[in-house]
Chain A
Amino acid sequence: MKSLYFAFHVYLAFAGKSFQKRMQYRVANLAGLTTNFFFLLVQIFVYTAFYAARPGPLPLNLDEIITYFVLCQVFFMVMPFWGTSSEVTEAIKSGDVVLQLTKPVDFQTYWFADECGRAYYYLFMRGLPTFLISLLFFEVVIPQHPTVLMAFAVSMILSIFMSAAITITIFSTGFWTLDTSGISGMSYAIITLFSGMLVPIVLWPEWLAYIARWLPFEGLIDVPFSIYLGKITGIKIWIAIGKQMAWSLFFLGLGRFLLTRGFSKLVIQGG
């Protein structure tokens, strides 16, 4: 219990530091904000045109679709494929990461905290402004029920955890391949598709949606947003959140396994 408390403390400290570190790149953030908004605008033009052509019954109405993509832009930078601190990847590449073993802090905890700090930074400094500006220009749906909002908040935090855990898993492969750009590119493709970031899963053909439901990545985007839009209700919320938790733990375990193997490779072979 005490060690758990300690880990949490470390987590908060490092996440805070990671958040602060990014505060200095405000101009870049402003540019990023504009870019997010631009993509959002184009997406809305595209869907408005699609909906104008076919007014038949659809699982989401236009306002809901717009809200879905607003949330996508809010979450965009939280996604796992954006890379991680270059310090960490450089340290893994050079083998200097082995020095981390001498520190009293568990490396995965540190890395995880650093990732979460990054995610929260983008959520608040880029996501929140995107959301607020969108409220002014588009018909964004706001959930009326406080329980929906609460469930969404929990699901959102789990999405961030899962994203951090997946990032660690992806970039831990740096112990074996010097160049992680290949593997991160592949995960980019898989994650953008199966998280539902490009097209909501409910609009997919049945067979593909079925595959997506069995994969972890819907927990990053589609699950929290469907909860927000009230498309997942009642007991199904708990199942969805439970799945997010299970997958987060799975990736944390996988990351731990890879890190342990990576470190022992470094220690035995000396990089």
Chain B
Amino acid sequence: MIEVDNLSKTFKVYHHRKGFFGSFVNLFSRKHRNVQAVDRVSFTVARGEIVGYLGPNGAGKSTTIKMLTGILVPSSGHVTVNGYIPHRQRKENAKHIGVVFGQRSHLWFDLPVQESFELLQRIYRIPQAQYRQNVEMFDELLNLGDFFQTPVRQLSLGQRMRADIAAALLHNPDVLFLDEPTIGLDVVAKARIRQFIQQINAERQVTVVLTTHDLDDVERLCKRVILIDNARLRFDGELTTLRRLLSTERLLSVDYAEVYPDVSIPNAHVVYQEDARVQYRFSPEEISAADLIGAILKKFRIVDVSIQEPDIEDLIKTVYEDNLTLERKLGESLSPDA
């Protein structure tokens, strides 16, 4: 469905000369340096897969998505989506993909959602029956009816995102690109969108490429993840493999009933202590959360306790900061497709 082979993108960043004379010179010759945004990235995605495309800010996620959607022309390498080369066969490709950017709406700002949809129906030449069927289905799953007549500029972030995702699917695309679809949304809205993506994927075999910062998104939706950092591909494989590879440490915060002088517990490291509040770092491989809490309860009286899951940022950070470890482990245990 999607084939990416040795894909690279280099941006020219122009250096601006200062001063009045400098700005004049700028008009005629400009110095630039090259910034490598994507560097020889290769992967393939099969029909019906949901792939999490992850990486820190500025890693090259959006640039890759933009090359897959035909927005940017690659500097080198090959891409095909549905057999089309996106930047050369942009219009053909566009008919078969759906794109959502979390940061910005693709709908018409001053038009009500319904009219935006009708406009898309005309643009994509969607047959009336298909259009009606899709709108009904999306309305059922996403409750579009609540705001179907509201101009896009007046929608809440969650409503706007629902409208945008529905809009991207009106023409029954084979591939759906989602760039940070849950950014800034509350828990309920996130859950609703995840569920929708899952359902569409299951029912229609829509291939989904998803970039996100939210580990929950990845855990609920993706079996497979691709990690990139500094423009290069770092990991491509099952999420469970990644989890296993990284000793994912967690944090346990405890509010004690009184201030104890020595709060140490075996197999857990105190990372923070102030008055009666203590934070432990522990690795589930060494001690389970239940055992740890049990051990604490034996020794001290507590008021409150909470466990923090590492979020994707932290997880990824470990990968990048500890690149050597990861690569070593990858070498030891990884399946050949990685």
Contacts and interface: CB of A to CB of B under 8 A. Distances in A.
Interface of A: 26-27, 30
B185 to A, nearest CB: 26
Contacts of B20: 26
Contacts of B27: 27, 30
Nearest to A26: B23
A123 to B, nearest CB: 16
B24 interface: yes
B150 interface: no
Interface in B1-47: 20, 23-24, 26-27
Contacts, number: 8
Given A26-B20, A27-B23, A30-B24, 5 more contacts: A26-B23, A27-B26, A27-B27, A30-B23, A30-B27
Chain A at the B interface: SS class? helix
A125 to B, nearest CB: 8
B86 to A, nearest CB: 34
B158 to A, nearest CB: 24
Nearest to B22: A26
A26 B23 CA distance: 7
Contacts of B24: 30
Interface string B316-333: 000000000000000000
Contacts of B26: 27
Contacts of A27: 23, 26-27
Nearest to A23: B20
Nearest to A27: B23
Contacts of A26: 20, 23
Contacts of B23: 26-27, 30
Interface string B293-318: 00000000000000000000000000
B153 to A, nearest CB: 15
A130 to B, nearest CB: 14
Identify the 4 closest CB pairs spanning chains A and B, nearest first. A26-B23, A27-B23, A26-B20, A30-B24
A30 B20 CA distance: 9
Contacts of A30: 23-24, 27
8 contacts: A26-B20, A26-B23, A27-B23, A27-B26, A27-B27, A30-B23, A30-B24, A30-B27
Nearest to B18: A26
A201 B164 CA distance: 59
B149 to A, nearest CB: 23
A48 B181 CA distance: 65
Nearest to A31: B27
A121 to B, nearest CB: 13
A55 B26 CA distance: 46
A30 B26 CA distance: 12
A254 B27 CA distance: 44
Interface in B37-90: none
Interface in B74-128: none
Nearest to B23: A26
